[in-house]
Chains A and B, each alone.
Chain A
């Protein structure tokens, strides 16, 4: 078994994320809630994957596990070929610091800090990064914020805040950016702008996984996965998007056909 695992790992560098039977359950009082019930997922470098499904379907839990914010209760999670499901707290913090970028629905910027300081923050937690502020400024420029670097989140519009948050996720050059309802708190126009930005970043080769309710977000993804009751399921028939269903199924099985060249 361990030999087989080793073999998988050796060739698994082809996947940014690879999970096997990934499961997570919580204790709510005396009830065990099985939020995620054994999920297999592979994401290749440069992919843009959308995970969608009703509330409570387990998509947020999936994102937290992929982002090393939580540990799985069963199954295996490999990040760039490395099994991270059993790492210590400090090691997971190191992964979050260097390999993961988070974008949240509510932006989650530190209110006391300027836009530039917010983007510099992840680099500070990496230890000595001599050109941290230059890199942060470059990231802010990349997401289209040309000025107002010294403004605090409260002085910025929602769209600008989300751009700052995306810059913060980008600045560490992570293996994957995990976005949780990235347009959920934005109006349609601003949301479209943000999705355009994310698509551009994906076009530059960045791997993205977005958890969303929004068709607008899902439409930008190269692959859509549907979740219900803690599992991936085929696309609901009434959507009439058979192709997506097919792609979702393929993704569960491996998704090679969707891996961009």
Chain B
């Protein structure tokens, strides 16, 4: 029998029992949909991790205060990293040529009768350079291939310089939204505002910016920042030295390991860290390079995909057993029909093709519907996973292919069994 006719015959076979076909396909639909959705979750998480470390250049070391878990809560372990730790690092560590630091604090910003609750960001003077190097933010509707300079980030004014930063000058740079809210159309440049009762001069206003990564756009309010020199921010907002984030720029990328050793020695001395009985340093900080993060992430992603593949195999095997079960019932029900077909000239392979194609059509339809359902479920998965779900393009051909293979693998036995029926016996079948 020609392929189109076999196809038609198989379709008719399925159409004879629509509900049963739909229920059988459901197993595959759910299997494929869950594969698509879980892979999207994994893909979303991966993209988020990548985005959160995107700013880390290959010549950079991220220094974090170590945290311990106490009663299920993360608490500082040892001393926090301070502004001074960072401030003296370039002078004390040969292989570090500069340091970016940042601190965040809640504060009120006031101009006249207008009062805003804001988050104050304390930064070092080179922060805009790192922002641009890391391609974290860009003016809205910026085309990717255009080179970005610091002045592109500003609607007016400038960022503070190194001298102002070191002098803890009370100057600030406003995000586009904050400037709008505080000044309602007036020119903010050179004007005075109150940040937590401290008078600050507005020296710059940022252009309307957005996160480069579309996934982060709704989470990072880049237009609501109020930036001050980090020293000024600390003395303005805090009574005690607050924990800060430090990123060290290494003189030479190839000396990363040596730089780590030097930084460790520098911080151990400052934090008065000792060795335990076995000679292990009881560090209260951790040093991370981009390469280490990527390596760890890849490892995690690999474990994750192995887990998902196992999940996919299990769910599709269950779906496949459903197909096999239904096809076996179908063959038994249609024993007489098989007898008739054999009597009027069907070869064994015609019967195999008919039943196998039915199974494959079931699994293919289940695969397609499952992909559609999985894709539809991604926004839902994103909603319960903090926006972190992104369709993995590879998961579509993968899951469809596995669904097809499932149909072939589990449809073959019932089909062969049908074809091997003795025509005389089959014709006698009730």
Task: Determine the distance from Cα of A94 to Cα of B346 in the docked complex, in whole angstroms.
Answer: 8
Contact partner, B344, options A90, A94, A96, Cβ 8 Å? A96
* 0/1 interface trace, chain A 101-112, chain B, CB 8 Å (1 if under): 010100011111
Most A-side CB within 10 Å, residue of B16, B336, B345: B345
Provide the residues of chain A in CB contact with B386, threshold 8 Å: none
Task: Determine the distance from Cα of A110 to Cα of B426 in the docked complex, in whole angstroms.
Answer: 13
Q: At the interface, yes or no: A25 with Cβ under 8 Å from chain B?
A: no
**Chain B residue at minimal CB-CB distance from A120:** B5
Provide the residues of chain B in CB contact with A38, threshold 8 Å: none
Check A110–B342 contact: CB distance below 8 A. no
**Chain A residue at minimal CB-CB distance from B5:** A124
Q: At the interface, yes or no: B427 with Cβ under 8 Å from chain A?
A: yes
Task: Determine the distance from Cα of A172 to Cα of B342 in the docked complex, in whole angstroms.
Answer: 15
Contact partner, A110, options B337, B348, B349, Cβ 8 Å? B337
Q: At the interface, yes or no: A126 with Cβ under 8 Å from chain B?
A: yes
**Chain B residue at minimal CB-CB distance from A101:** B344
**Chain B residue at minimal CB-CB distance from A93:** B347
Question: Closest CB of chain B to A180's CB: distance in Å?
Answer: 9
Task: Determine the distance from Cα of A189 to Cα of B337 in the docked complex, in whole angstroms.
Answer: 29
Provide the residues of chain B in CB contact with A102, threshold 8 Å: 343-344
Provide the residues of chain B in CB contact with A98, threshold 8 Å: 345
Q: At the interface, yes or no: B55 with Cβ under 8 Å from chain A?
A: no
Check B1–A97 contact: CB distance below 8 A. no
Q: At the interface, yes or no: B283 with Cβ under 8 Å from chain A?
A: no
Interface residues of A in 109-131 (CB under 8 A from B): 109-113, 121-122, 124-128
Q: At the interface, yes or no: B212 with Cβ under 8 Å from chain A?
A: no
* 0/1 interface trace, chain B 345-370, chain A, CB 8 Å (1 if under): 11111100000000000000000000
Q: At the interface, yes or no: A193 with Cβ under 8 Å from chain B?
A: no
Q: At the interface, yes or no: A67 with Cβ under 8 Å from chain B?
A: yes
Check A112–B427 contact: CB distance below 8 A. no
Check B350–A125 contact: CB distance below 8 A. yes
Contact partner, A125, options B344, B423, B427, Cβ 8 Å? B344
Check B12–A93 contact: CB distance below 8 A. no
**Chain B residue at minimal CB-CB distance from A126:** B345
Task: Determine the distance from Cα of A75 to Cα of B349 in the docked complex, in whole angstroms.
Answer: 28
Check B12–A112 contact: CB distance below 8 A. yes
Check B340–A96 contact: CB distance below 8 A. no
Task: Determine the distance from Cα of A73 to Cα of B5 in the docked complex, in whole angstroms.
Answer: 36
Check A93–B337 contact: CB distance below 8 A. no
Question: Closest CB of chain A to B71's CB: distance in Å?
Answer: 69
Question: Closest CB of chain B to A37's CB: distance in Å?
Answer: 18
Task: Determine the distance from Cα of A84 to Cα of B423 in the docked complex, in whole angstroms.
Answer: 17
Q: At the interface, yes or no: A168 with Cβ under 8 Å from chain B?
A: yes
Q: At the interface, yes or no: B341 with Cβ under 8 Å from chain A?
A: yes
Check B342–A128 contact: CB distance below 8 A. no
Contact partner, A69, options B12, B350, B424, Cβ 8 Å? B424
Provide the residues of chain B in CB contact with A97, threshold 8 Å: 344-346
Give the size of the chain A interface in residues (CB under 8 angstroms): 28
Check B345–A125 contact: CB distance below 8 A. yes
Task: Determine the distance from Cα of A89 to Cα of B348 in the docked complex, in whole angstroms.
Answer: 8
Task: Determine the distance from Cα of A90 to Cα of B346 in the docked complex, in whole angstroms.
Answer: 9
Q: At the interface, yes or no: A83 with Cβ under 8 Å from chain B?
A: no
Provide the residues of chain B in CB contact with A122, threshold 8 Å: 344-345
Check B427–A127 contact: CB distance below 8 A. no
Q: At the interface, yes or no: B146 with Cβ under 8 Å from chain A?
A: no
* 0/1 interface trace, chain A 165-188, chain B, CB 8 Å (1 if under): 000100010000000000000000
Task: Determine the distance from Cα of A194 to Cα of B116 in the docked complex, in whole angstroms.
Answer: 99
Check A93–B2 contact: CB distance below 8 A. no
Task: Determine the distance from Cα of A96 to Cα of B341 in the docked complex, in whole angstroms.
Answer: 10
* 0/1 interface trace, chain B 301-344, chain A, CB 8 Å (1 if under): 00000000000000000000000000000000000110111111
Task: Determine the distance from Cα of A39 to Cα of B423 in the docked complex, in whole angstroms.
Answer: 22
* 0/1 interface trace, chain A 32-52, chain B, CB 8 Å (1 if under): 000000000000000000000
**Chain A residue at minimal CB-CB distance from B427:** A108
Q: At the interface, yes or no: A142 with Cβ under 8 Å from chain B?
A: no
Question: Closest CB of chain B to A115's CB: distance in Å?
Answer: 14
**Chain A residue at minimal CB-CB distance from B15:** A112
Contact partner, A121, options B16, B339, B344, B423, Cβ 8 Å? B344
With A124-B2, A125-B1 in contact, do A108 and B343 touch (Cβ < 8 Å)?
Answer: yes
Q: At the interface, yes or no: A64 with Cβ under 8 Å from chain B?
A: yes
Question: Closest CB of chain A to B300's CB: distance in Å?
Answer: 53
Provide the residues of chain A in CB contact with B13, threshold 8 Å: 112
* 0/1 interface trace, chain B 205-238, chain A, CB 8 Å (1 if under): 0000000000000000000000000000000000
Question: Closest CB of chain B to A185's CB: distance in Å?
Answer: 14
Check A104–B424 contact: CB distance below 8 A. no
Check A89–B341 contact: CB distance below 8 A. no
Task: Determine the distance from Cα of A98 to Cα of B347 in the docked complex, in whole angstroms.
Answer: 12
**Chain A residue at minimal CB-CB distance from B426:** A69
* 0/1 interface trace, chain B 1-13, chain A, CB 8 Å (1 if under): 1100100000011
Interface residues of B in 413-430 (CB under 8 A from A): 423-424, 427
Check B424–A70 contact: CB distance below 8 A. yes
Most A-side CB within 10 Å, residue of B2, B344, B346: B344
Binding site for A on B (CB under 8 A): 1-2, 5, 12-13, 16, 336-337, 339-350, 423-424, 427
Can you offer 18 A-B residue contacts whose CB atoms are under 8 A?
A69-B423, A90-B347, A93-B345, A93-B347, A96-B343, A102-B343, A102-B344, A109-B340, A110-B340, A110-B341, A112-B12, A112-B13, A112-B16, A113-B12, A124-B1, A125-B1, A125-B341, A127-B2
Give me the 7 closest cross-chain CB pairs, A-B, nearest first: A97-B345, A125-B345, A93-B347, A122-B344, A96-B345, A69-B423, A108-B340
Binding site for B on A (CB under 8 A): 64, 67, 69-70, 89-90, 93-94, 96-98, 102, 104, 108-113, 121-122, 124-128, 168, 172
Knowing that A69-B342, A108-B340, A125-B341 are A-B contacts, what are 8 other residue pairs whose CB atoms are under 8 Å apart, sorted by A's residue number?
A: A69-B424, A89-B347, A93-B342, A96-B343, A112-B16, A122-B345, A125-B347, A127-B1
